[in-house]
Amino acid sequence: MEYTRLGTSGLIVSRLALGCMTFGDTSSGFSKWALGEEESEPIFRQAVELGITFWDTANAYSFGSSEEIVGRAIKKYSRREDIVLATKVFYPMHAGPGGSGTSRKAIMEQIDASLTRLGTDYVDLYQIHRLDYETAAEETMEALHDVVKAGKARYIGASSMLAWEFSKLQYTADLHGWTRFVSMQDQYNLLMREEEREMFGLLADQGVGSVPWSPLGRGRLARPWGEETHRSESDPAYGRLFTEEDSNREIVNAVQSVAQARGVSMATIALAWVLANPVVSAPIVGASKPQQLVDAAVALDITLGDEEIAALEEHYTPRLATGMSAADRPPAR
């Protein structure tokens, strides 16, 4: 495993992050494809063995049961001080005024609830899952600053917004001497490269690390075109995030071609491409089988050649960025 600093912060993370949306109680109604605690154990063991110490979850994943499973896994397979633990706030946890969003009430209520479920006194990275358009930037940034000063979070991060929106939040913090974001968790993969237009330039200028979600395009880049999985058939966000455009087919075919020539998995090639971007600190890898983490780790040893990169990027066309709107939100509880 390789390790790096998250942007220009002092926080050292593994170059791969374990995505924990995969783990949770299916009876919660959040997803039909989540793995229960017993089914999750091989994944956690494999992550520790591979040196993947950056674990990312959220309060909304399976409505809290993901955090519970992750918290117990840390105690069982590792030590709290050896894991860089990240969680998020924004999506609905209940109907009350503190149940969603990033108001002061919501942030203060939800950080305490997350810490209880995770069984820890602090998280290393506390992220706003989306931008709350109904709460002033000053209120959100001051509340996050207070969470850090209270020792409940070591760093803060953001996720999935426009570059100007992120810049506004950062400069709001600067104007008041509050804690700044050290990370941006954004959608970035060979099928969705819109972050390259403005966000990545901003992150490089501000010393903020990118922690891409869905680096494999919801799994579409990890298998031949047309091959379906239980998740692709049952995940309602799948069709909203990635269309059936002909260019998508050609991109997936290019990944398959490069992978076959290299003798590695398609996931390895798709991840190697993401990791090659200097703004990227650690792509988030969601796994339902231990071998998937092995394939991800192999990507760290892959340096793509100019011809391979050209083939992978050739068929990309500009498209509307997805993953930021209300339509892409998980189901309400």
Query: What residues act catalytically?
Result: 61
Structure tokens at 90: 């924004």
In sequence order, which residues have a C-beta less than 8 Å from that of residue 246 and are 6 or more positions away?
A: none
How far is it, in rounded angstroms, from Cα 285 to Cα 267?
10
Structure tokens at 169: 């939040």
How far is it, in rounded angstroms, from Cα 14 to Cα 54?
6
Contact 322, 187 (CB under 8 A): yes
Structure tokens at 89: 């706030």
Structure tokens at 310: 């050209």
DSSP conformation class of 226: T
Structure tokens at 61: 């994943």
Structure tokens at 132: 């709350």
How far is it, in rounded angstroms, from Cα 44 to Cα 55?
10
- Residue 63's φ and ψ, nearest 5 degrees, are 50, 45
Contact 272, 299 (CB under 8 A): yes
